[in-house]
Amino acid sequence: MGIFSTEGALYKFFARLWDVIVLNFLWLLFSIPIVTIGASTVAAYSVCLKMVDDEEGYIARSFMKAFKDNFRQGVILGIITMAAGYIVYLNFALFNAVESNPLPLLMMGLVGSVVFLFSLLYAFPLMARYENTIAKTLRNSFDISIRFIVRTLVLLLLIALEVLIINFNVTFMIAGVIMGPVFIMFTIAAFAKRIFQKIDKEQKE
C-alpha cells in the first residue's frame, strides 16, 4: 500500500484535516449574525460527534441539517452561554474595581464560573445528540461533569493546552482561525461521545 493511497494513514490525516477546515468555515459563516452562534455550534458538534467514529458523510449537508433541526434551541442556548460568560466577567470586573478586593466576591465568582462551566461544557454536544429541554440539557451537562469529574478535568486541561498552542505565535493564531474552534469542539466531542455511549449502555442494561 503506497503512502499516498486513499487507504493510507497520510491520506486519511489530510482528509480529516480538510473536513475540520470546512466545518470550521461553516461554523464561522453561520455564526456571523452572532445571535445564531448557538445554533451553529450545535450543528458543528453534531458533525463532530459523527466524525469521532467516521460517520459524518457529507460535512456541509450534515451541518445544514443539524443547523435547521436545532435552530431554535441552539439560539437560546447560545444566548444563555453568552449571558453566563458576561455575568462571570462582570463579577470578576467588580472584584477588581472594588477597593480591598473582597474575598466573598471572589469566591462567588469562582463558584459561579465552575457551575456555568460544568453546565455548559457538555450542553452543546448533548443538544446535538439528544432531544430534550434546555433546562434538562444544562442539568445533564452539570451532572455528567460531576459524575465523570476525572475525564472532565483532563478534558479541560487539553482545551487549555490547545488554547495555549493557538496563542503561541502569529502562525499558530492564523491556524487557529482556520480550524481552531472546531478542533477544540472535536476534542470535547471525542470525550463526550464516549461518555454518552457509556450512559446509553447503562440505561439499556
**Domain extent at residue 114:** 9-204
pTM here is 0.88
Q: Rounded to whole angstroms, how far apart are CA atoms 13 and 85?
A: 35
Residue 146 lies in a domain: yes
Look at residue 144 in the predicted model and tell me its pLDDT. Answer: 97
Separation in Å, CA 165 to CA 45, 143, 152, 160, 183: 22, 30, 20, 9, 12
Tens of pLDDT, residue by residue over 82-108, are: 998 888 888 777 777 777 667 776 777
CA distance 59 to 61: 6
Assigned domain for 129 exists? yes
Domain annotation covers residue 2: no
State the Cα–Cα distance between residues 188 and 175, nearest whole angstrom: 19
Q: pLDDT tens-digit profile of 175-204? A: 888 888 999 999 999 999 999 999 999 888
pLDDT at 78 > cutoff 70 = yes
Q: Is residue 200 part of a domain?
A: yes
The answer to whether the beta carbons of residues 3 and 40 sit under 8 Å apart is no
Number of domains in the chain: 1
Rounded Cα distance, 73 and 6, in Å: 39
Residue 31 has pLDDT above 70, yes or no: yes
Q: Please, which pLDDT band fits residue 58 given cuts at 50, 70 and 90? A: confident
Residue 103 is assigned to a structural domain of this protein: yes
3-state secondary structure the chain: CCCCCCCCHHHHHHHHHHHHHHHHHHHHHHHCCCCCHHHHHHHHHHHHHHHCCCCCCCHHHHHHHHHHHCHHHHHHHHHHHHHHHHHHHHHHHHHHHCCCCCHHHHHHHHHHHHHHHHHHHCHHHHHHHCCCCHHHHHHHHHHHHHHCHHHHHHHHHHHHHHHHHHCCCHHHHHHHHHHHHHHHHHHHHHHHHHHHHHHHHHHHC
Averaged pLDDT score across all residues of the chain: 89
The answer as to whether 134 is a domain residue is yes
Residue 105 maps to a domain: yes
